[in-house]
RNA sequence: GGCCCGUUGGUCAAGGGGUUAAGACGCAUCCCUUUCACGGAUGAAUCACGAGUUCGAUUCUCGUACGGGCUACCA
């Protein structure tokens, strides 16, 4: 299908938590690479040194590892196209910027931040609330287009800080074919002269993404829709530097929206659902933002849910394994419109995955959740039986605590209100007799337990319903859980009897 | 303000000239279950609006409205 080996990249900026949309971008990259037997690269876009956040890079890789979307090449795996951190590639970019200047596609600009600020203030009107450094303004600024050549040379020689800006051509239509939305075009007259190389010698995203995609032989570039407005800059740079025929195919992914528009970090706290893949603690403020992992999501469910947020295979199938996604994913079937994230649906995906996964596949994750809640569950065989019994009533892995804690320790509280009002001497006598019966029972399984229980109830002129709920509360503490005799069977004779005795003493 | 992208039930969405406009989540009712769930059944609920093209537009074109994104020496 493609004559070159497919190479895609995810290029995060390590400035904080990894958001839903980011993981979905990773996913689509990953699926596309796997489907085409290509390479998936992670390149760290850390050209803004002022936004450096310690730990963010490591955090991103931890998230990818958890989600099962690990790259083939990155700062971790290495590769033949390194370094994979743009800050370490700094010397590479300058020559491209210089070449653009030499070819007349870019120029030096000496305006200080204060001067730029003044420009924006001076030219700001109601009609134009955010003036651009564009073809009109650049004639009024201090740059190599307006200054005499000697002065430019002198300024550079004296070490005056400067940036290199692209010189946007006039009245040119720049267009390209986006894999998701078809042909997209822009008029260069309304685009400003973006900075390509900053005063500190670092490239901006615009230069870096083009140079690195070229150097790393990227064939397909997928990124969020928020990049669409700057894509003409990138197309022009490709044209000037490397030729349009070498440019990767672009796909601008639709945005994932929150309940009130763009999904922001704050939405998580506000609406009670996570936005990050994993817990993220801001090193400056120490503020913790909860992640899907810690909230109790399975990675299988998480990527399944993300894959369907903007894509579907057209058949109505919603539950997909990673391998199925690799086989069936298609960029052409990705929606062009943004999708509002629905936490209820996300939980449904998780519930489906919990239901269909074998207890052994759930065991380690349930153990972690139990450990965090101080629930002693050392016996794997017992744990697997418990998981099997309760998993269909769990949306999240953390629900296992509530649903299964009573298997491992006696209830801390009892729903006495559900029992007391209807309690009587007859019921007390029944349970005393049940204790005797349990003590003498030859076998201990759910079927026989239930049989005996009902028989004795009948002999005591009690309807099963009158004593079933009290029995449940004795064992569980509340009105929930699997079939009560399954619980008793798993709890064992000693524990069952002891819980009945304890409860009777409370009445 | 300008530019760009988008718009099928509350949400995710199939369908791309003629359909009773799929399906899923959620919601409601019922069945199953002497708990809570699972499961099953049923139901309410959708083509933003206006023109045009056409014998016929949810589907194609153009406007309008609405939503979103971008508009930094951030990515």
Q: What is the reported pLDDT for A82?
A: 83
pLDDT in tens, A369-411: 999 999 988 899 999 999 999 999 999 999 999 999 999 999 9
Which nucleotide's C1' atom has the smallest distance to the CA of A339? B12
* Backbone φ and ψ of A58, nearest 5°: -60, -40
Alpha-carbon distance A8 to A29, whole Å?
Answer: 6
Alpha-carbon distance A16 to A285, whole Å?
Answer: 12
Strand B bases, protein C-beta under 7 A: 1-8, 10-15, 22-26, 34-38, 67-75
- The H-assigned helical ranges of A288-424 are 292-295, 299-307, 322-328, 343-356, 359-372, 380-390, 399-408
Q: What is the reported pLDDT for A271?
A: 76
Domain with residues A293-404, CATH architecture: Orthogonal Bundle (1.10)
pLDDT in tens, A276-322: 999 999 999 999 999 999 999 999 999 999 999 999 999 999 999 99
Catalytic residues of A: 265
Give A108 or A272, the one with higher predicted confidence: A108
Alpha-carbon distance A66 to A295, whole Å?
Answer: 14
Which nucleotide's C1' atom has the smallest distance to the CA of A263? B68
Q: How confident is the model at residue A270 (pLDDT cuts 50, 70, 90)?
A: confident
Note the CA–C1' distance, A300 to B14, in angstroms.
Answer: 24
Confidence check: pLDDT of A188 > 70: yes
Confidence check: pLDDT of A44 > 70: yes
A421 CB neighbours strand B below 7 A: no
A338 CB neighbours strand B below 7 A: yes
Q: Who among residues 246-305 of A has its Cβ near strand B, under 7 Å?
A: 254-255, 257, 260-262
Q: How confident is the model at residue A1 (pLDDT cuts 50, 70, 90)?
A: very low
**Domain limits, chain A:** 89-210, 293-404, 410-506
Q: How confident is the model at residue A265 (pLDDT cuts 50, 70, 90)?
A: confident
Domain A410-506 falls under CATH 1.10.10.350: yes
A48 CB neighbours strand B below 7 A: yes
Topology of domain A89-210 in CATH is 3.90.800
Q: Smallest Cα–Cα separation from A75: which of A57, A91, A63, A62?
A: A57
Q: Smallest Cα–Cα separation from A45: which of A74, A85, A93?
A: A85
Q: What is the reported pLDDT for A351?
A: 97
DSSP 8-state class, residue A228:
G
């Amino acid at each position: 299908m493609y004559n070159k080996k497919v190479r895609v990249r995810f290029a995060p900026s390590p400035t904080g938590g990894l958001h839903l949309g980011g993981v979905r971008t990773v996913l689509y990259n990953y699926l596309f690479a796997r489907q085409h037997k290509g390479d998936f690269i992670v390149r760290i876009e850390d050209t803004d040194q002022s936004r450096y956040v310690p730990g963010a890079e490591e955090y991103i890789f931890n998230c990818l590892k958890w989600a099962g979307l690990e790259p083939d090449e990155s700062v971790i795996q290495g590769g033949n196209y390194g370094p994979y951190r743009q800050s370490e590639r700094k010397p590479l970019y300058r020559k491209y910027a210089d070449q653009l200047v030499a070819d007349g596609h870019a120029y030096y600009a000496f305006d200080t931040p204060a001067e730029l600020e003044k420009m924006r203030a001076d030219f700001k009107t109601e009609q134009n609330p955010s003036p651009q450094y564009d073809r009109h303004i650049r004639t009024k600024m201090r740059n190599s287009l307006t200054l005499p050549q000697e002065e430019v040379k002198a300024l550079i020689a004296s070490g005056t800080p400067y940036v290199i800006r692209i010189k946007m051509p006039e009245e040119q239509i720049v267009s390209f074919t986006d894999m998701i939305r078809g042909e997209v075009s822009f008029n260069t007259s309304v685009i400003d002269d973006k900075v390509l190389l900053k005063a500190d010698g670092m490239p901006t995203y615009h230069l870096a993404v083009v140079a690195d995609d070229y150097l790393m032989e990227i064939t397909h570039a997928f990124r969020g829709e928020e990049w669409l407005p700057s894509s003409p800059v990138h197309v022009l740079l490709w044209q000037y530097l490397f030729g349009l025929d070498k440019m990767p195919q672009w796909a601008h992914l639709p945005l994932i929206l929150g309940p009130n528009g763009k999904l922001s970090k704050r939405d998580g706290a506000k609406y009670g659902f996570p936005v990050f893949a994993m817990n993220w603690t801001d090193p400056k403020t120490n503020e913790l933002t909860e992640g899907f992992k810690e909230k109790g999501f399975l990675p299988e469910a998480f990527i399944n849910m993300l894959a369907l947020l903007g894509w579907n295979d057209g058949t109505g199938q919603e539950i997909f394994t990673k391998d199925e996604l690799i086989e069936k994913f298609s960029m052409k079937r990705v929606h062009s419109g943004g999708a509002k994230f629905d936490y209820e649906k996300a939980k449904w995906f998780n519930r489906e995955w919990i239901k269909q996964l074998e207890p052994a596949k759930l065991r380690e994750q349930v153990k972690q959740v139990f450990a965090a809640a101080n629930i002693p569950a050392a016996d794997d065989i017992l744990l697997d039986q418990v998981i099997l019994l309760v998993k269909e009533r769990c949306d999240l892995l953390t629900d296992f605590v509530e649903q299964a804690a009573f298997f491992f320790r006696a209830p801390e509280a009892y729903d006495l209100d559900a029992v007391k009002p209807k309690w009587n001497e007859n019921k007390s006598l029944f349970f005393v007799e049940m204790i005797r019966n349990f003590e003498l029972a030859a076998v201990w399984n759910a079927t026989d337990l239930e049989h005996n229980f009902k028989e004795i109830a009948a002999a005591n002129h009690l309807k099963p319903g009158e004593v079933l709920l009290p029995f449940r509360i004795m064992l569980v503490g509340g009105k929930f859980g699997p079939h009560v005799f399954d619980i008793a069977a798993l709890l064992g004779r000693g524990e069952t009897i002891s819980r009945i005795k304890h409860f009777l003493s409370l009445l």
